[in-house]
Amino acid sequence: MSLGLSLPDARARFPALIVVEAEPLEEARLLRRLCDWCSRYTPLAALDGRDGLMLDISGVAHLFEGEAALIEDCRARLSAQGISVVIGAASNPRAASALARFSRVRTAPEPLSDKAFVKLFHDLSLAALGLDEKIVADMARAGLRRIGDIALRPRAPITARFGAVPMARLDALKGLERSSIAPRFRPPDFCAERQFASPIQTVEAIEVQLRKLADDLVVLLERQAKGARRIELSLYRVDGAMRRIRIGASRPLNEARAIVRLIAERLASPSEDAIDAGYGVDLMRLACLTAEPLAPSEAELERAHEAERARSLAELLDRLSARLGARAVTRRELIDAHLPEQAEAAAPATLGHDAIGFTRRSARRVSSPQSPSNGRPMVGEDQGGGSRWPTQQGSSGTFDNLTSVHDPPPLPAPTRGGGGANVIDAAARQARLRSESRHGEELASWIHEGEASGTPARPLRLFARPEPIEALAEVPDGPPLRFRWRRVVHDVAAIEGPERIAAPWWRHVGAPTRDYFRAEDSEGRRFWLYREGLWGRETMRPKWFVHGLFG
């Protein structure tokens, strides 16, 4: 008896046949339910056609003591529910499907040698490739019936006659083509689960386990400094039924107690059915579907204590300043200046937060022009020329307490004349404080932006005096390939730049332009290098310096 046999024929062969009408909708629903149930093995469970399921078990088989044990476990549990299944396992979805549906040997060895592949697959019918019936019939007419028939023949004639699909499917079967499955649910960001040797039946026991699961989940969340916004509790019952309870939180949660309380509230709501443990629950999973960075603690009690702490911090800073000097205990702020050594200012911490103001704000925009020399994307926003420099103004008064952190100028001294830009009038500062704190955030976001990948654009440490290095570059205006710093030779393994920073020409002339590079050497140390002077325009022998370390 086979699929597609007409009813009279079947009756003729088996007179005692019991006939039941097909119910495609019910079958689809059952399949979906089974798919949900199978998510106990892996979060990546998908429907495969109208009569199959596809589970991605890569990386989970060891949790069930190997693939064979996993398959056995799955088969046993499903047969206990009255469902008999045929399971195939292979290293890609197409092969697994072919083995399950068409082969006697249901598990492909890992890794699969060419010889084993021939043995396993070459005798299977072409329908195992999942081709249309029409193509299979056409190929049968041409004498091609088994997979081996097309695998051993040249590709071009088969593609010319039957289209690209058969050969593409063959490649997928061999694992040469990347194939993926579409899981029914997105895998969660974090999840904790517990399996029980003997199913638990009482609601109290479920609550106890839920609390433990919440503890587990919170540890995972805390490690990533995240909180959960959407949480799902799944209960897998022995009889195959599955229950999902979803809750949402308006702020990221990372307290086990809060999570448990929300789930309890949800169960108490009239629209939700109470938990029915039935014959018992043998697997519980608590998953965080959406995680978000934690907001800083806002508890009122905490804040009250922080006020107290702020007082003792002020006392501490006074004590330190008294002994070490007020200039040794500082707070810093970002300054909107292009020269790196002027981009921050320090003020004695005893003056509090408001000691530093910003220079006049200016519009900054990050663009990514191509460098003329080597086509490498630029990091910063200034491509020579100076047309987009901010309209910075030196201010009238000076503010005594303000000191530039890196006050000694670098060797070529391009910056000294601009010292006035960092200091602003105390009265004007007061008026502008509010808007400028926002400005600080903008600056910070610009620094973060560096590149798409979260790579920092500015180094952790900056030398007060850039240290001269001997650098070897392919072309005079190209990036360095190798450099010697502090008598050690560093081979550049990765590099980004140039970011061109010119001195403020409207205030003084003569300071050479610098081209900054972020370089990583072969051992993984990251440096901020620059070449001083535009080759051919400002100097014929550009000098190289290391200005900072990224760590």
Partner 1 sequence: MARLRRAISQIEAEAGPEGERPARRLPFARAFDSALSGGLADDALHEIVPAQPADGAVAMGFALALAARFISRRPASALVIGEGFAAEESGALYGPGLVAHGLPLSRLVFVRAPDAALAFWAIEEALKCGAPAVVVGEIWSLKGYSLAASRRLLLAARKGKVPALLILASAYGQAERLSSAAETRFEIAAAPSATIPAAAGLDLPGPFACGARLIKARLARAGPEAPFQAFDPGRVIHLEWRSQDMTFKDMTFGGMCVDDQAISLPLAAASGDRSRAAARRR
Interaction residues for partner 1, span 128-167 (CB under 8 A):
none
* Residue 224 interacts with partner 1 (CB under 8 A): yes or no: yes
* Residue 104 interacts with partner 1 (CB under 8 A): yes or no: no
Interface stretch with partner 1, choices 80-88, 101-109, 422-430, 454-462 (CB under 8 A): 454-462
Q: Are 201 and 276 in contact (CB under 8 A)?
A: no
Answer for which of 6, 113, 391, 453 binds partner 1 (CB under 8 A) is: 453
- CA 505, CA 503: separation in Å to the nearest integer? 6
- CA 145, CA 124: separation in Å to the nearest integer? 9
How big is the site for partner 1, counted in residues (CB under 8 A)?
109
Mapping DSSP onto H, E and C, the string for 501-540 reads: ECCCCCCCCCCCCEEEEEEEECCCCEEEEEEECCECCCEC
CB of 338 to partner 1, least distance (A): 12
Helix (H) or strand (E) holding 246: strand 242-253
Q: Whose Cβ is closer to partner 1: residue 134's or residue 434's?
A: 434
- CA 493, CA 476: separation in Å to the nearest integer? 19
Q: Whose Cβ is closer to partner 1: residue 75's or residue 526's?
A: 526
Look up tokens 């299979």; give the residue: 136
Q: Is 496 helix (H, G, I), strand (E, B) or coil?
A: strand
Interface stretch with partner 1, choices 113-121, 124-132, 343-351, 381-389 (CB under 8 A): 343-351
* Residue 312 interacts with partner 1 (CB under 8 A): yes or no: yes
Answer for which of 86, 152, 313, 472 binds partner 1 (CB under 8 A) is: 313
- CA 61, CA 220: separation in Å to the nearest integer? 22
- Residue ranges in 478-517 that form contacts with partner 1 under rule CB under 8 A: 479, 488, 492-496
Answer for which of 53, 108, 346, 421 binds partner 1 (CB under 8 A) is: 346
Interface stretch with partner 1, choices 28-36, 82-90, 220-228, 499-507 (CB under 8 A): 220-228
Q: Where are the beta strands (DSSP E) in 11-128?
A: 45-48, 52-55
Q: How many CB atoms lie within 10 A of CB 209?
A: 17
User: How many residues are given for the chain?
Assistant: 551
* Residue 451 interacts with partner 1 (CB under 8 A): yes or no: yes
- Residue ranges in 357-396 that form contacts with partner 1 under rule CB under 8 A: 374-377
Q: Whose Cβ is closer to partner 1: residue 130's or residue 450's?
A: 450
Answer for which of 179, 456, 476, 507 binds partner 1 (CB under 8 A) is: 456
Interface stretch with partner 1, choices 86-94, 134-142, 211-219, 423-431 (CB under 8 A): 211-219
Interface stretch with partner 1, choices 114-122, 174-182, 264-272, 314-322 (CB under 8 A): 314-322
Collect all residues with Cβ–Cβ distance below 8 Å to 248 and sequence separation of at least 6.
229, 230, 231
Q: Whose Cβ is closer to partner 1: residue 352's or residue 510's?
A: 352
Mapping DSSP onto H, E and C, the string for 361-389 reads: CCCCCCCCCECCCCCCECCCCCCCCCCCC
Answer for which of 316, 411, 472, 489 binds partner 1 (CB under 8 A) is: 316
- CA 349, CA 345: separation in Å to the nearest integer? 12
- CA 483, CA 529: separation in Å to the nearest integer? 10
Interface stretch with partner 1, choices 109-117, 170-178, 460-468, 499-507 (CB under 8 A): 460-468
Answer for which of 77, 94, 229, 406 binds partner 1 (CB under 8 A) is: 406
Q: Whose Cβ is closer to partner 1: residue 330's or residue 513's?
A: 330
* Residue 462 interacts with partner 1 (CB under 8 A): yes or no: yes
Interface stretch with partner 1, choices 2-10, 136-144, 217-225, 409-417 (CB under 8 A): 217-225
* Residue 320 interacts with partner 1 (CB under 8 A): yes or no: yes
* Residue 542 interacts with partner 1 (CB under 8 A): yes or no: no
- CA 498, CA 405: separation in Å to the nearest integer? 25
Q: Are 187 and 291 in contact (CB under 8 A)?
A: no
User: What tokens appear for 12 in the block?
Assistant: 């003729």
Interface stretch with partner 1, choices 89-97, 104-112, 163-171, 309-317 (CB under 8 A): 309-317
- CA 446, CA 424: separation in Å to the nearest integer? 23
Q: Whose Cβ is closer to partner 1: residue 164's or residue 195's?
A: 195
Beta bridge partners of 45: 55
Q: Is 476 helix (H, G, I), strand (E, B) or coil?
A: coil
Buried b (16+ CB within 10 A) or exposed e, 370-383: ebeeeeeebbbbbb
Answer for which of 72, 171, 216, 318 binds partner 1 (CB under 8 A) is: 216
* Residue 534 interacts with partner 1 (CB under 8 A): yes or no: no
- CA 546, CA 186: separation in Å to the nearest integer? 47
Q: Whose Cβ is closer to partner 1: residue 224's or residue 430's?
A: 224
* Residue 448 interacts with partner 1 (CB under 8 A): yes or no: yes
The C-alpha torsion from 167 through 168 and 174 to 177, rounded to 10°, is: 150
CB of 429 to partner 1, least distance (A): 16
- Residue ranges in 181-210 that form contacts with partner 1 under rule CB under 8 A: 187-198
* Residue 331 interacts with partner 1 (CB under 8 A): yes or no: yes
- Under DSSP, the state recorded for 328 is G
* Residue 540 interacts with partner 1 (CB under 8 A): yes or no: no
Mapping DSSP onto H, E and C, the string for 181-195 reads: CCCCCCCCCEEEEEE
Answer for which of 450, 504, 533, 542 binds partner 1 (CB under 8 A) is: 450
- CA 495, CA 483: separation in Å to the nearest integer? 13
